[in-house]
A and B are shown apart, each in its own frame.
Chain A
């Protein structure tokens, strides 16, 4: 195998609905400067830059080429990744391969989206196959409605449980200074918010955020000299799913073949993780809707099928709980799309460093799973550890 890879620098902007004060390049620069400062490095220490952004959402073709100065890419090697909701995580994976190759000692990975500049949902409609699927003009909400409906039917979960999951994420977000939505919610508030596509209500969906997140990755030699304790990316796995039978989940073959289940079980097997709820201390999944949390927990084998809502009901997923999930508040609180996947890895790494501040999980965190989800149920999963 190649070089071992660690996270040695973490930076992110505060994520907001609009950032009229700055342009996209300046926003990226905020995150990059913070990551360099965190790692006590300068841009001269960076060997290559990997950047990701959903450029059709942004309305920019080759959006990386416009942010070269702010991103610190001038006269550096690098490239842009774009894989949908998973983009940020794919970019981290790309940075990981770059450092593992031995060609680069360090890599700067940047994810960003500035959704106050362009209507991303209009672009998201074009994610559907043009001849058969696109007429549905569907964004993301319907997917989670189908998910929530079938989950309720199969498991006995009620609307109240999804509302409680949303409340917990809001509680977490209020303790995270970078998070976007930080409402003080009750279960009733969620249940009274307007229906988008039942059972998905307004408060169940992620916001459109502006923000950027940057990570500095390094090989073992550099990581051991790093200013902050390195967090090792021990392994990763990615899986996509065939998209043409997708149809928004309407004709989902039963039993559903899930890329999440396939990818996470491969990753667990390679790394000797036999009981994820015990072996993994903290989870930063990627839940664009609170309804996604239940199937995700089960597909990641955190619990048995049909049992996730019971863990939520027991509030085991809270920051103080046995199985802390989305301590940052998650994607449902903060969603600058191209950055969201990078943020998952960054937040998991902060937890393992013990530097998550008010949203630091109570239990001792040695290992974490971070992931991102998107497109036709695509997934990237990372296994992070404090120990090499």
Chain B
């Protein structure tokens, strides 16, 4: 890469249902926090933040041109602001490329979603191709159930292995002050929870949540000046797969493998499990953590369940996955991928408190979008020396 890009500050809200909060207040909260934390201001002379990249979705906001509700609070007034209408990881990806290109030195990235104000199933139904899929009444959960079934049958993944993902992540969330659902759950409780769409049960799915997060990234010289603990973006990649679930081998996260290959190649990672200390991935459903851990190359295909049961993915294991509690502890869509980065940065700075992974130096951040994980974005972060 032409020059290094570092993250100099992160902030997030608590994730919970926030019925009284206006969307503008919701996105402003982490922006205000990260500005205070870094002491940076929106400037035009190169001494502060040059531009803003936001992430939100018109459908979830019920507000077309949804970045309209962000610009006031996030420095968009008479200044550059661009909205990425994908998962928040893509906003970070694009912001990093914009700094690499040299046009900007410092960018504020902010993502927000207020899931509780709408029926997400209707929105997800509109996320399916209109002529052949939409009228079936499918949503992302019912499609995920097809993927989970194929995956579990082909590789012998058991419902209790999926449930153990929930137990681990909700347990990790006990130590995350921002998590919505810090709660000790048991395998039996997961397996006894109501079915949403077989084999996905209520506790296998991410709960409805509202929240926002923000981070500031800067070119190397400025990042070093502005923080003693910069976290560097060492690699990034993303990839699209086909739309129709029936056109894909749903047990093979092909676009995730491609995105990871690009990011690893850029970061010089040849042995993901050996080289990576910490993973924050986007598991909207419990089975996805197992499937995505295969796609990210931490184990062979079909071995996601065994990897989990080996204890390797726990805090204290050799490849801790979602020490924050992940999406299962309640992070909204869109915010999901950017929140993964915020959590990974917190870890790499050694500021994660009781959920801290000791000595974490290199982290993988993952975001995904579309039905059954159609598109994926992978970003490699490394702690500065």
The reply on A83 being an interface residue by CB < 8 A is yes
The reply on B364 being an interface residue by CB < 8 A is no
The reply on A103 being an interface residue by CB < 8 A is yes
User: For residue B102, which residues in chain A have a CB less than 8 angstroms away from its CB?
Assistant: 1-2, 100
Interface residues of chain B, those whose CB is within 8 Å of chain A, are 1-2, 22, 24, 57-59, 62-69, 71-72, 76-86, 90, 93-94, 97-98, 100-103, 123-124, 126-131, 236-243, 254-255, 258-259, 262, 266, 369-371, 374-375
Interface centre among A68, A124, A238, A239 (most CB of B within 10 A): A68
The reply on A370 being an interface residue by CB < 8 A is no
**Contact for B79 among A75, A239, A374, CB less than 8 A:** A239
Q: Is the CB of A56 within 8 A of B64?
A: yes
The reply on A106 being an interface residue by CB < 8 A is no
**Contact for A103 among B22, B57, B97, B127, CB less than 8 A:** B97
Decide yes or no: A77 and B82 within 8 Å by CB, A54-B64, A126-B63 being known contacts: no
Q: Is the CB of B59 within 8 A of A75?
A: no
Q: Is the CB of A2 within 8 A of B101?
A: yes
The reply on A19 being an interface residue by CB < 8 A is no
Interface residues of chain A, those whose CB is within 8 Å of chain B, are 1-3, 23, 49, 54-57, 59-62, 64-69, 73-84, 90, 93-94, 96-103, 117, 123-124, 126-127, 129-131, 236-244, 257, 259, 262, 374-376
**Contact for B370 among A65, A81, A129, A236, CB less than 8 A:** A65
**Contact for A68 among B100, B124, B240, B266, CB less than 8 A:** B240
CB-based nearest A residue for B377: A79
Q: Is the CB of B239 within 8 A of A93?
A: no
Decide yes or no: A83 and B82 within 8 Å by CB, A73-B240, A100-B102, A101-B101 being known contacts: yes
Q: How far is the CB of B303 from chain A (nearest CB, A)?
A: 24
Q: Is the CB of B370 within 8 A of A83?
A: no
Q: Is the CB of A66 within 8 A of B243?
A: yes
Q: Is the CB of B76 within 8 A of A242?
A: yes
**Contact for A94 among B77, B94, B127, CB less than 8 A:** B94
Beyond A65-B243, A75-B240, A243-B72, 5 additional pairs, beta carbon < 8 A: A65-B371, A76-B240, A79-B93, A82-B85, A90-B83
Q: Provide the bound-state CA to CA distance between A257 and B371, in Å.
A: 43
17 contacts between A and B (CB under 8 A): A1-B101, A1-B102, A3-B101, A55-B85, A56-B64, A57-B64, A59-B130, A65-B371, A66-B243, A69-B243, A73-B240, A75-B258, A81-B83, A123-B58, A130-B62, A241-B71, A242-B71
Q: Provide the bound-state CA to CA distance between A231 and B83, in Å.
A: 26
Q: Is the CB of B241 within 8 A of A79?
A: no
**Contact for A101 among B80, B85, B98, B254, CB less than 8 A:** B98
